[in-house]
Amino acid sequence: MQFEELQKVWDTQNERPVFAMDDARLSVALYQQREQRGRRIFRREFAPIYFTLPLLIFFSGFVLVAFYFKTASKMRMTDPRMTIWDGVALVIATVASIAIMVFMHAEHRRHKRTQHVFAPSLREELERGISQVDFELSLYSTPRVLTLIALVTIGAGVILWESGRLNGNSTSWGMLGYNLVLMIVSTWWGLAAKNKSVERVMQRRRALESMLAALQEGATDLER
């Protein structure tokens, strides 16, 4: 065979590509990625809160009960007595912690319901991928991140203040100061991590959107 003939053989690729996208395999790969991301979202965004809040609820309940019994049994009379405001603060901290957990659990369940089934087509798989990315983005919204940090800090502050009173310090300003520093550090870290995560997630969203657009374009071409 002469070189010119080899050249002609090579050029046949320009009319008929030697590779094609395998929709079924792409769909499986995207599904696997979605599952993996779902587990990572839970590990990074929900598990730490699911671990922290029960601790807060437990300690706040413990302080409430211990403070009540200490006051009722008139132990160590020189220590501060439990007032109605101590009770109210601890009850609010407990109820607020439970409310956050319930809200987050509902939010996660609602999202999981739309995600756990294997999508019947590549288009739907891509749409589910985009919806997962949107859910992840909603978790990184600045008001949500700040609200969560603020609520956990207030809860921890109340418990620290009340534990101080339970142990005989009528005012635990030092503990509140530490808590405030912790809040500032958490806010700084939380916002920095949020910005990085948003950039990473947006890259994935753009990739999925490109694939969806290419798929739609392909469908339009076929219809023509």
Contact between 21 and other proteins by CB under 8 A: the answer reads yes
Residue of 22, 110, 121, 200 interacting with other proteins (CB under 8 A)? 22
Region of 39-47, 136-144, 174-182, 198-206 interacting with other proteins (CB under 8 A): 198-206
Q: Minimum CB separation from other proteins for residue 117, in Å? A: 19
Q: Contact at 8 Å (CB) between 195 and 106? A: no
**Residue ranges in 28-47 that form contacts with other proteins under rule CB under 8 A:** 28-29
Q: Which two tokens stand for residue 65?
A: 């009960």
Q: Minimum CB separation from other proteins for residue 39, in Å? A: 19
For other proteins, how many residues bind (rule: CB under 8 A)?
A: 28
Rounded CA-CA distance 8/10 in Å is 5
Contact between 7 and other proteins by CB under 8 A: the answer reads yes
Rounded CA-CA distance 56/222 in Å is 59
Nearest to 37 by CA among 159, 200, 214, 191: 200
Contact between 19 and other proteins by CB under 8 A: the answer reads yes
Q: Which two tokens stand for residue 157?
A: 């502050």
Coil, strand, or helix at residue 116?
coil
Q: Minimum CB separation from other proteins for residue 142, in Å? A: 19
Contact between 51 and other proteins by CB under 8 A: the answer reads no
Q: Which two tokens stand for residue 50?
A: 């699911």
Residue with tokens 């008929």: 16
CA 47 to chain centre: 8
Contact between 181 and other proteins by CB under 8 A: the answer reads no
Residue of 48, 213, 216, 219 interacting with other proteins (CB under 8 A)? 213
Rounded CA-CA distance 149/143 in Å is 10
Q: Minimum CB separation from other proteins for residue 118, in Å? A: 14
Contact between 1 and other proteins by CB under 8 A: the answer reads yes
Rounded CA-CA distance 193/204 in Å is 17
Summarize as ranges the residues that interact with other proteins (CB under 8 A).
1-3, 5-7, 9-10, 12-14, 16-22, 25-26, 28-29, 202-203, 206, 210, 213-214
